[in-house]
Amino acid sequence: MKYSISDLAQLSGISVHNIRIWERRYGALKPSRTEGNTRYYDDEQLKRLLCIAGLYHAGHKISRACALDKDDMSALLLEQIGGALLEEHRFEYFILQIVNQSLVYNEAGINELISDSFQVNGVQGTYKHVIYPILVRMGLMWLNESLCPSQEHFLSAIIRQKLLAAIDSLNPVVGEPGSGWLLFLPEDEDHDIGLLLASYLLRAAGRPVVYLGPKVPLFALANTADATKPQNLLFFMTRARPVADAQDYVDLLSAQFPAANILLSGNIKVLGSLDYPPGVTWLRSLADFESLIANPTEMPKP
């Protein structure tokens, strides 16, 4: 794969300005050039930047990190796993190393890092502050065609397994009709990682959940809603689609389920262009969702 400096910044969380400084002062990276003299970076340069950034977040000086070769850098990173990390850097450290291991399809390394993050950051802290940012970064790169789709799918499959195991470890909460959450994806959506994360967070907070998963046709959604009478409907729209089609779907849900709070998240370009009818709320971030879980009385009324 070929990456621009903006791509590197997107995946590493290091600004373009700092990458250029590290490159100029410390020889951190050595970009190649196209026939048209455009700079680009390959997989090895991306992995090197992720390692350098990981060492930086582990408390090492940039000058020292940039002077290390590949083997010494890897050895030093291994020493940091499970060690004491500064409070403000511990999430970013795990994010960078998990992304790095996903680029080389190292399932064992990813599992070890996630397990160590559970120990350092807690299970919920790992999903909220490590896994979720990784999905956002890799998802944006995949949508921009700057990341190999197989790498995104590989990591998503591992995270999906972890989320299912975490959900299975929680006791189901039975709620009264009209009090619970109904989670689903429209029938043309099948990427359910975000929905699984929402299901885990709701269940961990003691909220009753009915999870339908991906590709749910409207008649099935209506049948379930008639039986369970959920207070809240939550779904994701991640696919790129015409704004008019998304608007029609949101308007249809609003008309069909007037007594429910309807919440959605997903593709910013699409959702940011919609006109939201009463009772429909766009969740722009994980913080918005957590706020509603913690303060259900502040839920917008339909």
DSSP string spanning 252-299? HHHHH-TTSEEEEEE-HHHHTTPPPPTTEEE--SHHHHHHHHH-GGGS
Task: Residue 193: give its domain's CATH number.
Answer: 3.40.50.280
Q: Which of 146, 124, 127, 125 is nearest to 137 (CA)?
A: 146
**14 and 158, same structural domain?**
yes
Tokens at 222, concatenated: 């209506």
Residue pair 231/269 in contact by the 8 Å Cβ criterion: no
**63 and 204, same structural domain?**
no
**252 and 223, same structural domain?**
yes
SS3 content of the chain, % helix, strand, coil (to 5): 60, 10, 30
- Residue 176 domain-assigned (yes or no): no
- Residue 174 domain-assigned (yes or no): no
**143 and 96, same structural domain?**
yes
- Residue 172 domain-assigned (yes or no): no
**248 and 121, same structural domain?**
no
Domain-terminating residue out of 167, 192, 225: 167
Separation CA 182–CA 180 (nearest Å): 7
Domain count, the chain: 2
- Residue 173 domain-assigned (yes or no): no
What local confidence, expressed as pLDDT, does residue 100 receive? 87
Separation CA 109–CA 125 (nearest Å): 19
**267 and 163, same structural domain?**
no
- Residue 175 domain-assigned (yes or no): no
Range of the domain at 259: 181-298
Separation CA 199–CA 11 (nearest Å): 26
- Per-residue pLDDT for the chain (302 aa), expressed as one digit of tens each? 788 898 888 888 899 999 999 999 999 999 898 888 888 898 889 889 988 988 888 888 899 999 998 888 888 877 765 454 556 678 888 888 898 888 889 999 999 999 888 888 888 889 888 988 887 777 655 555 555 678 778 888 999 999 999 999 998 887 666 679 999 999 999 889 889 999 999 999 999 999 999 999 999 999 999 999 999 999 999 888 999 999 999 999 999 999 999 999 988 889 999 999 989 999 998 888 988 888 766 655 54
**127 and 31, same structural domain?**
yes
Task: Residue 45: give its domain's CATH number.
Answer: 1.10.1660
With H, G, I as helix, E, B as strand and everything else as coil, classify residue 235: strand
Separation CA 298–CA 179 (nearest Å): 14
Overall pTM surpassing 0.85 (yes/no) = no
Tokens at 136, concatenated: 């956002």
**What stretches of the chain adopt beta strand conformation (E)?**
32-33, 39-40, 181-186, 209-216, 232-237, 261-266, 280-282
Separation CA 158–CA 102 (nearest Å): 10
